[in-house]
Amino acid sequence: MKKGKAMARQLGMMSALTAGTVVLAGCGTGAANAAGASVKAETVTISFWESHSSSNPPGIALAHLIQEFNQTHKRVKVNLTITKASHKALGALAAGDAPVVAWISHYDGNFLAAHALVSWNKYFSGFPVAERNSIFPVVWSNGEVNGQHYRIQANAKVSELVYNKAIFAKAGIKSFPATWTQLAQDVSIIKQRVPGVIPLAWKDSSAHILPPFLSNGGKLFKPGTGTKQVDFLSPAARETFSYFRNLYQQKEMIFAHGSAIAADFGAGKIAIADGTSAGYFLKVNAAHGAFPVGVAGYPTGSTGHSANLDQGLGFVMMVDHTPADYKAATTFISWWFSPKVQAYWGTHSGYPPETRAGLAAIPQSFFAKNPGVLVSAQALESPYTIPRPVPTAYKEVQSALDTAFYNAVTGRTTVQQSLQSLQKQADSYLSGQSAL
């Protein structure tokens, strides 16, 4: 990219960038690569930024797949850089050094506000219809804004529960509870019959608050208001907040997160551990085979069905590259969603496949040994699993929700006080009164 163009881009994006923008060196632009390829009529090399460490399962699986792609495609090559694209790509764009393709989080509002992304829509002609139709609907719609697909989800994760089967057996519980009511009954039994064990460890974040709220009939937005008002002054919200408050007050539940949950679960201290599909193998590995580990989707609520949120990183194309770059990127993404590749991703990364064809290509013997992957895929198939909202304003709503939920459950405020404060605060965010 020419220096003048980079300066113009930088000036045009100042409102979307934070101070202290990092300029990343040593990463040639896809445009330059495409220019060289057009002269030689040989290969288009596209730069791809993603954040998974090369030492963890997703990073290892991705590196293997990119190597396979490069070996089997003569006209397109992918150059992988491991970096925090969600945080660094906008700064790199302002400096004229953005990648062609990046994996960014579901909070892509700042990228859209900066007009930094190219819609995939005009390139769908290079995407086989059979493969596109095989993608789970919630995955396909995950990065859609006003009919335009700016981000195509790459590693989907949903919320789920793992449990210690040995503790269940000791408590005389033969199967995992199917409803939230049954879950409350079972954690009470565990507390009584297996002293010293934490019956339930829960995460106080929106991805773990909204699913039970939705399964109890809750709505993300108040009916008739579009996306201008939330709906937390509702029976579903009161039921959900009160449910977890009761568990907490009865000392049948604690709040915990990430590695702490995995460590305590592996040590046999927790009967049921809340988490996401991304953390399933962490908990299984933490147990070191000391006890059998079960996994289940979230229970059903008063609606008679379960609910979930689909979240995770997704493929985006950055602006200021050439049509040849975008065509090459489409070739790579199309290949990514092929059944063979999705089956490999689903059996090596810890994440479920994102297509029905990929799910069908995985042997049942794998699911018998790794049931968490199947549970995650079934959640993605469910019509009651929805994309996590992507607007920046809803990111603030979710932060307010986390605080209100924690305060209500731990008794710092009453349920009604928390919900009233949450409703007022969230509506102000949706009206444009940002706290950021």
Q: Is the pLDDT of residue 19 over 70?
A: no
- For residue 191, tell me if it sits in a domain: yes
Residue bearing tokens 């002269």: 39
- For residue 89, tell me if it sits in a domain: yes
Residue range 340-360, pLDDT digits in tens:
999 999 999 989 999 999 999
Nearest Cα to 166, choosing from 294, 291, 295, 296?
Answer: 291
Nearest Cα to 433, choosing from 404, 392, 403?
Answer: 392
Which pLDDT does position 9 carry in this prediction? 52
In this structure, the answer to whether residues 109 and 235 fall within a common structural domain is no
Q: Which residues constitute the domain of residue 40?
A: 3-157+311-386
Instruction: Check which CATH number belongs to the domain holding 29 and give it.
Output: 3.40.190.10
- CA atoms of 158 and 14, how far apart (whole Å): 35
CB 240 within 8 A of CB 234: no
In this structure, the answer to whether residues 72 and 183 fall within a common structural domain is no
In this structure, the answer to whether residues 249 and 304 fall within a common structural domain is yes
In this structure, the answer to whether residues 360 and 414 fall within a common structural domain is no
In this structure, the answer to whether residues 153 and 210 fall within a common structural domain is no
- CA atoms of 178 and 185, how far apart (whole Å): 11
- CA atoms of 52 and 342, how far apart (whole Å): 17
Total number of domains in the chain: 2
Residue range 239-265, pLDDT digits in tens:
999 999 999 999 999 999 878 999 999
In this structure, the answer to whether residues 324 and 421 fall within a common structural domain is no
Q: Is the pLDDT of residue 361 over 50?
A: yes
Which pLDDT does position 106 carry in this prediction? 77
In this structure, the answer to whether residues 319 and 330 fall within a common structural domain is yes
Q: Is the pLDDT of residue 1 over 60?
A: no
In this structure, the answer to whether residues 327 and 288 fall within a common structural domain is no
- For residue 133, tell me if it sits in a domain: yes
In this structure, the answer to whether residues 396 and 255 fall within a common structural domain is yes
In this structure, the answer to whether residues 298 and 205 fall within a common structural domain is yes
Q: Is the pLDDT of residue 66 over 80?
A: yes
In this structure, the answer to whether residues 280 and 230 fall within a common structural domain is yes
In this structure, the answer to whether residues 204 and 290 fall within a common structural domain is yes
- For residue 436, tell me if it sits in a domain: no
pLDDT-wise least confident of 105-109, 292-296, 340-344, 381-385? 105-109
For residue 211, the surrounding DSSP H or E stretch is helix 206-215
| pLDDT, the chain, mean | 89
- CA atoms of 300 and 285, how far apart (whole Å): 28
